[in-house]
């Protein structure tokens, strides 16, 4: 499936609502559990998504659209949330993510991007040249990957509790 701006935005709009519907009001036994050392809980994932809204997607899109001489992106800090989420509740994070996402989509929609603009390139610090279209497709896929991760991390908390049914639940061993 090719990237389509309207269809991509439709997913980006829904992610904060989907995560709120899944997580808001749950006890910390669900929201602060992870898959083991060096893995993330739903709470950690929310902080990571917020850091992406603040520093990654729209900032990189601006670099591409400006087409300046230096189009290299700042590397993304995958661990910023362990610092930035301190003292915040999960409810705070759900609100913050929804607010930032709405602002970013207003910016994106305001650009009225053309196909020619979607084909413009920036420079990824690891991969080299990437297009705006690929960046926006990645924003969408990154959301969906973390929604999948959130549900998977929660499911795994019942790996033992399900007893023999584990054999029928592939999510337990992904």
Residues forming the site for its own copies (CB under 8 A): 1-4, 7, 10-11, 14, 17-18, 20-23, 25-27, 29-30, 33, 124, 127-128, 130-131, 133-134, 137-138, 140-142, 144-145, 147-152, 154-155, 157-158, 160-165, 167, 169-172, 174
**Least distance from its own copies to the Cβ atom of residue 29, Å:** 6
**Least distance from its own copies to the Cβ atom of residue 138, Å:** 4
Specify the 3-state DSSP secondary structure of 131. Answer: strand
* CA 69 to the chain's CA centroid: 29
Q: How many angstroms separate the CA atoms of 94 and 113, rounded?
A: 28
Of 100 and 130, CB closest to its own copies? 130
Of 104 and 150, CB closest to its own copies? 150
**Least distance from its own copies to the Cβ atom of residue 127, Å:** 4
**43: its two tokens:** 């709470």
Instruction: Count H helices and E strands in the chain, helices first.
Output: 8, 2
Q: How many angstroms separate the CA atoms of 28 and 37, rounded?
A: 18
Of 14 and 54, CB closest to its own copies? 14
Residues sharing a CB contact under 8 Å with residue 29, sequence separation 6 or more, in sequence order: 157
**Least distance from its own copies to the Cβ atom of residue 40, Å:** 12
Of 62 and 152, CB closest to its own copies? 152
Q: How many angstroms separate the CA atoms of 146 and 159, rounded?
A: 20
């Amino acid at each position: 499936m090719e990237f389509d701006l309207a269809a991509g935005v439709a997913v980006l709009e829904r992610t904060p609502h989907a995560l709120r519907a899944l997580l808001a009001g749950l006890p910390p036994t669900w929201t602060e559990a992870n898959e083991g050392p060096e893995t993330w809980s739903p709470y950690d994932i929310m902080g990571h998504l917020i850091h992406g809204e603040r520093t990654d997607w729209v900032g990189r899109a601006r670099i591409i659209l400006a087409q300046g001489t230096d189009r290299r992106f700042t590397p993304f800090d995958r661990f910023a949330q362990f610092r930035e989420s301190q003292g915040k509740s999960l409810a705070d994070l759900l609100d913050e993510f929804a607010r930032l996402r709405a602002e970013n989509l207003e910016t994106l929609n305001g650009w009225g991007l053309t196909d020619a603009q979607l084909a413009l390139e920036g420079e990824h610090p690891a991969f080299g040249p990437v297009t705006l279209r690929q960046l926006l497709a990645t924003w969408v896929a990154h959301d969906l990957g973390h929604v999948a991760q959130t549900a998977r991390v929660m499911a795994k908390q019942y790996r033992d509790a399900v007893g023999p049914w584990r054999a029928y639940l592939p999510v337990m061993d992904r």
